Amino acid sequence: MTQKEYKKNVELLNKYAYHYYVLDDPITTDEVYDKLYHEVLAYEEKYPENIDPSSPTQRVGDVASLSFTKAVHLSRMWSLEDIFNSEDLQKWLEKVHRLSDGISFYCEPKYDGASLNLIYENGVLTRAITRGDGVEGEEITQNAKTINSIPLTINHPGRLEVRGEVVIFKKEFERINEERMQSGESIFANPRNAAAGSLRQLDPRITASRNLVFLPYGIGENDLEIGRLSKRMEYIYELGFRAPPERALCKGFDEIEAFYQKMNTERDDYVMMIDGMVIKVDQIEAQEEMGYTVKNPRWSCAYKFPAVEKITTLKDIVLQVGRSGAVTPVAVVEPTPIEGVVVERATLHNFDEIDRKDIRIGDKVIILRSGDVIPKIVKVLTHERDGSQLPYKRPTECPVCHSELLDEGALTKCQNLTCSARVVNAIIYFASKPCLNIDGLGEKIVETLYNEGLIKSVIDLFSLELDALLALEGFKEKKSQKLLDAIEGAKGCECWRFINALGMEHIGEVASKSLCGHFGLGFSEATKEELVAIDGFGEEMANSVLEFVRVNGENIRILEEILTPVEPAQKADVAENPFKEKTVVLTGSMSESRGKIKIMLEELGAKVAGSVSKKTDYVIYGDDAGSKYDKAVALGVATITEEQMREMLA
């Protein structure tokens, strides 16, 4: 094969793959494809210096990495406001029309998967970053490259961010779960979890085996001059991405509602799971004018499909003891498939709810599953009773430690602070993702460590020794060392994670971040007045913090000493500078990534916004700045170059 022939063959392979994975319209057989693939591979082994980055051989990474690196998005990845019925739609449209008129709406399915951001530089896929919290995600480029519907190269100069959803088709989801069941692994609850889990595999070969599919839904950073979203998306599909099964440009309420009804009746026939329809203002200029709330674009919303109900039988009611001691009943139902997911458990909230609905074991019940909400029992079919269903008796003792329960009606509590369920759940929570995020320290391992007497509290985690772990069944050297390293890695965590990990009642991730922002580690000395003064903090939350500190002061101190959490730079500490407390917008390409410049400015006390408005203090622009620059000029907002910004700081 000459170099010229090699190039031709790579092109041909990509054409075959495009027809197969993107158009769903194969133009050759597996055999022909495989033969050519191996010829191309043989050529590349001989002339590695000639390897084309678009060659399909470049998809298969075979080196597992140790961890993912965090990556800041060039611009924020937003979430969507949900609407649920035609009244909501009417109201949403009124709101949108007040902000801008003469607009139309681009409608497409809302895919149920995991968001992914692809960055192409001069036509080559250079980075793929998961959504994460919208500002910062994880770089999983090697894994993304294994997804055949993600082009490795595109015919577009400059930088382009393509955003979309990674999904697993329904059939593939069933196949994977079947396989996992046979090999005794836990099954995925739904295609969304399966997609997200498959994307975050340290070994790209596992990701490759899951047959993930990428469906683009938007564009981040770009230099496109196209003024309509629908046209922009057509351009993206032309670059080699998969188009949605259905899309439409709708003018107003009637057209949107009709398209939504059509999609809802047809969704069972779709190869992928969808949970609604996304509506987006088509005119890019209007989008920019409307801007964003703290969480969502004002120019888009997700019109969710109605939840799905099924009839099943309640087989049992089991009890769960949470880390706060709250005992909650959980319904075990006859396994029932709803929308591609087999439901076996449903929430019952609390014992009052059981009484109120007179739920009895053996009853026929209607369960409801809507999107990502845990299924619940919505109705008991009492007319189906045959006399064998007896009223449910509330428990009086803890199912785990057998101490007497405190029954406060809606809330039933095990008051034994050393109840093993409470302790174990507190440790699991401590290690979980939004807390210290200790990899490998999940439910099973915590239970084992606790049952074997190696840990009695979170503090004991930090004096675990290798020899003790090796003595446990199933703990090989590698696994044990990995666990110890992960625990060690929690030291120096961000301050808010430390606060969240304490597990104070009513204090979740958002409240922990606020506490950390206001007081840092000094939160434990905050007074009630100071606590209730925090935005979003009420009396109950403040009392919870004070009570927790009162009871656990000594443990907080010990943990703080072990973990040495890192406090964020306090705004007050930021030295005076021209950008302190100013709102700035970045646009165009700069000498380093805008993500980095954003962090630098934020450290200087600036607020970096995504769109230009009258409130913007500065638009800082690089090469090829586009509409944001024009808008700044139109609004009379100060515009400065990256160099001028640096001079102002010098």
Binding site for ligand IVH (CB under 6 A): 78-80, 108, 110-111, 115, 131, 165, 217-218, 278, 297, 300, 302
User: Shortest approach of ligand IVH to residue 236 CB, angstroms?
Assistant: 12
- Write down the H helix ranges in 520-568: 528-532, 539-563
Nearest to residue 370, comparing CAs of 347, 344, 345, 338? 338
User: Shortest approach of ligand IVH to residue 246 CB, angstroms?
Assistant: 11
| Ramachandran area for residue 258 (φ above 0: left; ψ -120 to 50: alpha; else beta) | alpha
565 or 595: whose CB is closer to ligand IVH?
595
Angle, to 10 degrees, between the axis of helix 86-99 and the axis of helix 253-266? 140
User: Shortest approach of ligand IVH to residue 304 CB, angstroms?
Assistant: 10
CB count within 10 Å of CB 184 equals 6
How far is the CA of 255 from the CAs of 105, 301, 303, 338, 634, in angstroms?
A: 10, 16, 14, 29, 34
Q: Is the dihedral of CA 359, 361, 363, 367 positive or negative?
A: positive
109 or 151: whose CB is closer to ligand IVH?
109
The SS3 call for residue 139 is: strand
The SS3 call for residue 559 is: helix
290 or 419: whose CB is closer to ligand IVH?
290
- Tell me which amino acid residue 11 is: E
- Tell me which amino acid residue 141 is: T
17 or 284: whose CB is closer to ligand IVH?
284
Nearest to residue 110, comparing CAs of 253, 267, 250, 227? 267
38 or 262: whose CB is closer to ligand IVH?
262
Q: Is 233 exposed, middle or buried (CB count within 10 Å of its CB: 0-12, 13-18, 19+)?
A: buried
300 or 480: whose CB is closer to ligand IVH?
300
- Rounded Cα–Cα distance for residues 520 and 571 (Å): 12
196 or 208: whose CB is closer to ligand IVH?
196
- Rounded Cα–Cα distance for residues 261 and 263 (Å): 5
User: Shortest approach of ligand IVH to residue 134 CB, angstroms?
Assistant: 8
With tokens 């410049």, the residue in question is 597
User: Shortest approach of ligand IVH to residue 218 CB, angstroms?
Assistant: 5
User: Shortest approach of ligand IVH to residue 82 CB, angstroms?
Assistant: 8
- Rounded Cα–Cα distance for residues 493 and 565 (Å): 5
Structure tokens at 511: 């409240």
User: Shortest approach of ligand IVH to residue 252 CB, angstroms?
Assistant: 20
User: Shortest approach of ligand IVH to residue 295 CB, angstroms?
Assistant: 10
- Rounded Cα–Cα distance for residues 350 and 407 (Å): 11
108 or 139: whose CB is closer to ligand IVH?
108
User: Shortest approach of ligand IVH to residue 173 CB, angstroms?
Assistant: 16
Please tell me what DSSP assigns to residue 390. Answer: P
285 or 530: whose CB is closer to ligand IVH?
285
Please tell me what DSSP assigns to residue 591. Answer: S
User: Shortest approach of ligand IVH to residue 79 CB, angstroms?
Assistant: 4
Contact 446, 427 (CB under 8 A): yes
131 or 422: whose CB is closer to ligand IVH?
131
293 or 463: whose CB is closer to ligand IVH?
293
Which listed residue (110, 598, 628, 631) is catalytic? 110
- Rounded Cα–Cα distance for residues 167 and 115 (Å): 9
Contact 370, 359 (CB under 8 A): no
Q: Is the dihedral of CA 135, 136, 137, 141 positive or negative?
A: positive
Structure tokens at 140: 């999983």
User: Across-strand partners of 583?
Assistant: 607
- Write down the H helix ranges in 271-312: 284-290
Would residue 476 show up in a list of annotated catalytic residues for this protein? no
User: Shortest approach of ligand IVH to residue 473 CB, angstroms?
Assistant: 41
How far is the CA of 430 from the CAs of 47, 202, 236, 441, 459, in angstroms?
A: 52, 23, 43, 10, 10
Please tell me what DSSP assigns to residue 154. Answer: -
In angstroms and rounded to an integer, the radius of gyration of the C-alpha atoms of the chain is 28
Nearest to residue 76, comparing CAs of 151, 6, 3, 137? 137
107 or 597: whose CB is closer to ligand IVH?
107
User: Shortest approach of ligand IVH to residue 112 CB, angstroms?
Assistant: 7
Nearest to residue 284, comparing CAs of 215, 221, 232? 232
Contact 171, 157 (CB under 8 A): no
How far is the CA of 274 from the CAs of 277, 398, 520, in angstroms?
A: 8, 41, 42
C-alpha count within 13 angstroms, C-beta hemisphere, residue 505: 14
Q: Which positions are annotated as active-site residues?
A: 110
